[in-house]
Structure 1
Amino acid sequence: MDSVKQILAEYKPAGWDADLVSAGFVKHIAQQGETLSITLALPFAGHSLLAQITEQYADRLRAATGATQLDWQLTIEVATLPRAQGLAAVQGIRNIIVVASGKGGVGKSTTAVNLALALQKEGARVAILDADIYGPSIPTMLGTLKERPVSYDGKLMEPVLACGLKSNSIGYLVAEQDATIWRGPMASKALAQILHETRWGEVDYLVVDMPPGTGDIQLTMAQQVPTSAAVIVTTPQDVALADARKGVAMFNKVAVPVLGIIENMSYHLCSACGHHEPLFGTGGGQKMAEQYQVALLGQLPLHIDIRQHMDEGRPTVVSAPEGALAQAYVQLAQRVGAALYFSGKPIATPLYTLALDE
């Protein structure tokens, strides 16, 4: 089966530190008659990668082995990566990915929601926590504005389910006009309470939508949340990039790995003719990624459909799952999942215990 391994070893997508074989993702190869069986296991979200692999290598594998039928198996078992500052894990949560931005208005929450849904689509168990005290928009974007978490034991809240995603938000718990006038300690305490007093269950990735900015509140939250890694959302123009740089510096200060930059509104995609127009300039995200030696994880378009989907409470990944916009988020999820895995050495997965009376 060396010929099979040699062919599969050519598969190394952008952002991977090792190829499919040397990374240990090929678990079993066997041939019985004219049937070649290949079992793969990925330690991060990436279910649709199997289609890429089969499309690229199926013909060559048949030619190399004489097999007429290929039997592929792919399992997703998300690894747990180290938490910043050695903080204790939240029960049942393997990884916490913080989505942050140096300033507001760059599409951070839109990106966080679609990233979470895309990670779920790629085979992971995902939840989202809306920690944006200045403008908790996750309930609107998920179509759960009127929902409220319930508690069956008076101790833990049950997350609100939307699009198969577990969610909790400051927006569910306080009146809209109250959330924006909280002082730092009150806001940080509220975040810690929501994080630790929600019955998340078993979750591979908890995506946290952080407040925009890099002030004391954001710094305190970054220090309190047992974060696996952060991603920074920005737009290409110089003003946004200057603030995004502060975001990278903040996470470096509290020893939270920054997986990379997501350049949102990278270009305007005309819904009538498909014309690409870089309204906010070009190349800013790439230059910043090179400056800080982090990855440019994705370049997402400015498109009217994304805005409409979010306003309707049906995010793009759910509303048009086979469309080009949804595929852009899926590719982003693949990059983020792989970047997190290759960012460190996996550790033991925190146990999730369930009381018998539950």
Structure 2
Amino acid sequence: MTTRMEGLDTLLAAPHDGTFGEMTPPIYQSSLFGFASYAEFEDRMAGRSDRPLYSRVQNPTVSAFEQMIARLEATEAAVGFASGMAAVAATLFALVKPGDRIACITHVYPDSYRLMERMLRPWGIEITYHPPEQFERESDLLAGARLAYLESPNSMMMEVMDLQVVAGHARRHGALTVFDNSWATPALLNPVALGIDLVIHSASKYISGHSDTVAGVVAGPAELIGRLRDLTLPLLGAKLAPFEAWLLLRGLRTLETRMRQHGGTADLFVDRLATRPEVTRVRSPGADAAPGLRGRSGLLSVELSENISIPHFADALRLFRLGVSWGGFESLAVPAAITLKQAGEQNAPQRFGVPPRLVRLSLGLESAEDLWKDFVQALEVAKN
């Protein structure tokens, strides 16, 4: 593990040290890279050189993004992928084999769950699901497990865990820990500092911040990242493209500033939601919710009372759009009940216990007061 010496704002604002003094890395939009001599070519193929060879496995623009993520997460290395799910799949396929067990957090990101159930389980990999308190309380939960797959907070339900305690349990039993840090980003949480082995980001979310990029990235020790580079990155082929890497570098420059605004809007909502009789519960962990967490992101969930028609509430929203994903400049709402309509997943919310009257909100970069007015007027329209 490395230690991040710079403040996040300073690190993110650091200019690219380029040939012509450019502030941002250029886009190397090339599929391959040539060599000046036989010896130079041989050195690269034999692993004695790390210069670019082929953009399916290495590209200078992608490398610049990977290096920035490694610095932000204070890890030795990072590797980019074409999507968050590509990052999840590449990590699990590289680290588990038939007969292994994955201990997974309950209410995990739905497509991570589908990957485990529809692909890994049929291949002979056991998956067990456990709530955060069980990971913390039962020190032998990870006995015999190959890997713990974690989120804090987890999807929709926003439950948190003490990562340092869980990482300690994992080390005692020789289990790897993989943590999805898409909710907090390095601006609010550095899991490796708490003992986590590998950190995954859906870079499509806050790291991009502009809703124009689909990407993923994994950060961690050089040895584990090397396994992904050697096996699943080249052979599955879900590489990060140079243009997307350039957009992600663009997004990273404003990550700290954007996260402050997202969090400030969330703070306003959390305070005011407590006064609304139509809201029965707010799920939005803040800085005091778990060790290592330094603030609140803009993704939260609310549960609405029985006298609110959720379809009418959703249709009455004007600034909030209805849509999946989160972390961009725009505000979004996702009613949990509507996720039942996804093909083949009609029983998923009941199976995982997600309240049917829960609505997930992604608070964007619009005026916090304007967003609050929109939320309140939609409540008024939707009253039975």
Same fold at TM > 0.5 = no
What TM-score, normalized by structure 2, do the two folds share? 0.28
More relative contact order, 1 or 2 (CA 8 Å, 6+ apart): 1
Q: Where is the helix percentage greater, Structure 1 or Structure 2?
A: 2
What TM-score, normalized by structure 1, do the two folds share? 0.29
Q: Where is the strand percentage greater, Structure 1 or Structure 2?
A: 1
